[in-house]
Structure 1
Amino acid sequence: MTDSNNKHLLEEEAKAFASSGRINYYDIVIDHGKGAVITDADGNDYIDLLASASSTNTGHAHPKVVKAIQDQAAKLIQYTPAYFANTQEARLAPRLAKLAPMSGPVEVSWGLSGSDANDAIIKFARAYTGRQYLVAFTGAYHGSTYGSMSLSSISMNMSRKMAPLLPGVVKVPFPSPWEREPDESEEHFVDRFFREFMRPFETYLPAEETAVILMEAIQGDGGICKTPPAFMKKVYDFAKAHGILFAVDEINQGMGRTGKWWSIQNFDGIEPDLMSVGKSLASGLPLSAVVGRKEIMESLGAPAHLFTTAGNPVTTAAANATLDVFEEEHLLERSAKLGQKAKAFFEAEKEKFDFIGDVRMYGLDGGIDIIDPATGQGDTNATVKLMYRIFELGAIIISLRGNILRFQPPLVITEAQLDQAFTMIDQAFSELAAGKLTLPAKAAEMGW
């Protein structure tokens, strides 16, 4: 890279910024954005296929959200909801409760990030049930606070050097698609993984002492992969039969990402007891919520789960505007429609290129496996070559699990921008197939 604002700013930042705070991909400094386009400090534009880790589903600097933030900031930036309600927060709470995929009275409690929303699930589940054990799945990312980190299983760096983690957490295998044996039927695959799910309960984990089962209905950082519906139903029925709360993490996959408000709505007959929300709730501003059945949410009293700045006037104003944008611009329908377009594109590319394995697309929410055609195994080097070439061509895309391209553009992306991105991706695929791509200099440092 030639001398540039990007380079200068990164060099200065490196003197003061801890390496634990960033997963490395590209040496850029983002300066501004509009819709589905971001611009770096050197003035280079990129089509954003990441949406800031699915936290800007309404796009960058949406005018309605910007105006709501500006108008509210001119009135009142902060007064802690820990002591007094504010007009924006008081309006948002019932709106969010009404959207919850739960019957009966529902309540919310505010936080600052998805991580603390999952901590809240731990608190409320233990308080309501009087039980200690928590069950989560391998491949899950639930956050970086101690509680949410203890529930996660996505990176060794989330546990290395930090033990002991929260006690009472039991991890069970997630039925990821690449765990399915060749020629294995869906029924056999589901039964096999449900036996693994049951193994702790049959050997050392008392069901009657288990408070909650927490899962991502569609794993995000685990590879954008949907839980097999039959497996989900078995786990859900087991929880209900034993008085165990069933909770879903909707931080990455919620807020319209899959073409529905919540990813759990892609499953019939499943109604969570608790749900964590964050990221795009306030179009990327620091606001999260735990949403749950009223009787569960009333099992704790203040100050068991409150924060000085959580639910403050500016972030809740942004969230109210975000919900308005979703309704007025029909972003759920847009995600579903453009998701079908994206699915058709990637499935057509799969027919052209033998290094594309499984293609998973749920609304504008996709995971595309890059494999070694000779072995069928994931090919991390090829994935790094592809994503870096796509970046060079003018789009931001990253990888998951080393060999999965993560496709999560803002839901406001135009069809023209989507087509432009597809042209870049097809060019990168074609160049890889022709042996024209090489690893970037910092390949070993890139990715999770």
Structure 2
Amino acid sequence: MDKNQEALQTEQAALAPTSRIKYFDLVVQSGSGATITDMNGRQYLDLLSSASATNTGHCHPHVVQAIQEQAARLIQYTPAYFANEPETQLAGRLTHLAPISGPVRLLWGNSGSDANDAVIKLARAYTGRQYIVCFTGAYHGSTYGSMSLSSVSLNMSRKMAPLLPGIVKVPYPDSHDRLPQESETAFVERMFAAFKQPFDTYLPAEEVAAIVIEPIQGDGGIVKAPQAYLDKIHQFAQQHGILLAVDEINQGLGRTGKWWSIDHFQIEPDLMSIGKSLASGLPLSAVLGREEVMAALDAPGNLFTTSGNPITTAAANATIDVIENENLVEKSRSLGLKAQAGFQKLQQKYAFIGDVRMYGLNGGIDIVDPQTQQPDPQATTKLIYRIYELGAIMISLRGNILRFQPPLVMTEDQLNQALQIIDQACQDLAADKLSLPENAAEIGW
């Protein structure tokens, strides 16, 4: 019997359906660098990096060694009461890396979700205001606060109301919404007018605590906000005493070819949330911010028994070592340019490839109907399933966007192999050789 299927059948009797977005019947047994291996012993190129949570690749020897050595010394003693050695080291390193001038402080969490909850708490505590402005298409997490900020899927609000009050959503400046022949300047003006509409009609600016944004949306489709738009948002926030908070959970730690996605904009946030790849996928997050903002809450306003524990912070210190010592930020930028060129070649070759967006080793590739140029979710599902059959893991976003986020340790040969696999899948789609898998209706967000 197929070992993947055997394990999945065992799990099926116990796992709640809300726990997994379905794609492939795959059980990951091991990983190394930019590859993973399933329970049947089949190896795949990983073009997903565990949802951008393993930027340093799978089981990097330096990270593994740090975890093993720390586990032999101390697994856990709650930082809610006492510090631990790797946590004290990591705190200084992260505040030094923060793209915020002046004194910077941080707090620990277990996931990006609770980090974004902390952003809400801190913003409200510091400003004494209740409202939080966020954006359509965002994914900020699955706790009640972070889920209230999110709008990437109806299943993040369906059956769970009331969500957190005081949350106001405005349209993200998504390039997919740009009108035919509309200039970027006109697009920015139109999107900023939509941002301003609540403030002009029912939302007093003096009662808004924070604007929370992904400078480059991850699960929303790998979409970058225009520079001019973010400049306007930043200026508006400063004029009205509103904090600007950026979510770097998906797009931080070298993913975009810079340390942080906000570095592309030369704008300093007041608060930022990080997670996912911070500890190479172990459960650790943090919020970094201006000292006076971070001082707005007293304990136990935001602390957790296991956040900042010795093993996760040891892994995070090792992760930063790897990013710095192996120049992964620059590697993400340079390999990202090669990936962009590769996808642009495919775009010229196949009429169903629409827009190609690439920021570091971090891309969204639209699959569209060649005649109408409208999103084609069925073709996208056929493609990702064929890519899986050919030996690579790639998933879809928003139904019709290929998500390209391989580990930053990927080699150029592996990148070329990945592009060859995607090209073969595209050839098969163009030749009408592909059919939808039986569970196609269940696949994807």
Structure 1 position 175, deviation (Å)? 1.3
Which amino acid is 2:358 matched to? M
Specify which of 315, 334, 337 is matched with residue 331 of structure 2.
334
Report the equivalent of 1:131. 129
Q: Distance in 1 between matches of 2:173 and 2:73?
A: 49
Report the equivalent of 1:188. 186
Which amino acid is 2:53 matched to? S
Deviations 1:29-58 (A, max 9, x none): 000000000000111100000000000000
SS in 1 for 2:121: helix
SS in 2 for 1:357: strand
Which amino acid is 1:136 matched to? C
2:161 is the alignment partner of 1:163: yes
Q: Distance in 2 between matches of 1:272 and 1:352?
A: 41
Deviations 1:287-337 (A, max 9, x none): 000100000000111010100000000000000000000111000010001
Q: Distance in 1 between matches of 2:15 and 2:439?
A: 19
Structure 2's unaligned 5+ residue stretches are none
Report the equivalent of 1:273. 270
Which amino acid is 2:145 matched to? G
Deviations 1:131-150 (A, max 9, x none): 00000000000000000000
Which amino acid is 2:371 matched to? A
Report the equivalent of 1:290. 287
Specify which of 312, 316, 336 is matched with residue 315 of structure 1.
312
Report the equivalent of 1:143. 141
Moved over 6 A (4+): none
Specify which of 242, 252, 255 is matched with residue 240 of structure 2.
242
Structure 1 position 177, deviation (Å)? 1.0
SS in 2 for 1:205: coil
Q: Aligned-pair RMSD on alpha carbons?
A: 0.5
Structure 1 position 357, deviation (Å)? 0.5
SS in 1 for 2:396: strand
Report the equivalent of 2:373. 376
Structure 1's unaligned 5+ residue stretches are none
**Mapping of 1:275-424 within 5 angstroms?**
275-424=272-421
Q: Distance in 2 between matches of 1:176 and 1:381?
A: 22
Specify which of 204, 207, 214 is matched with residue 206 of structure 1.
204
Specify which of 90, 93, 98 is matched with residue 92 of structure 1.
90
Q: Distance in 2 between matches of 1:28 and 1:234?
A: 45
Structure 1 position 430, deviation (Å)? 1.0
Structure 1 position 441, deviation (Å)? 1.1
SS in 2 for 1:141: coil
Structure 1 position 440, deviation (Å)? 1.0
Identical counterparts, % of pairs: 68
SS in 2 for 1:213: strand
Q: Distance in 2 between matches of 1:374 and 1:415?
A: 35
Q: Distance in 2 between matches of 1:178 and 1:315?
A: 38
Q: Distance in 2 between matches of 1:22 and 1:346?
A: 29
SS in 1 for 2:107: strand
Q: Distance in 1 between matches of 2:144 and 2:280?
A: 25
Which amino acid is 1:43 matched to? G
Which amino acid is 2:52 matched to? S
Q: Distance in 1 between matches of 2:112 and 2:68?
A: 24
Which amino acid is 2:443 matched to? M
Q: If the length of structure 2 is used for normalisation, what is the TM-score? A: 1.00
Report the equivalent of 2:224. 226
Q: Distance in 1 between matches of 2:414 and 2:42?
A: 16
Q: Distance in 2 between matches of 1:88 and 1:333?
A: 26
Q: Distance in 2 between matches of 1:184 and 1:156?
A: 29
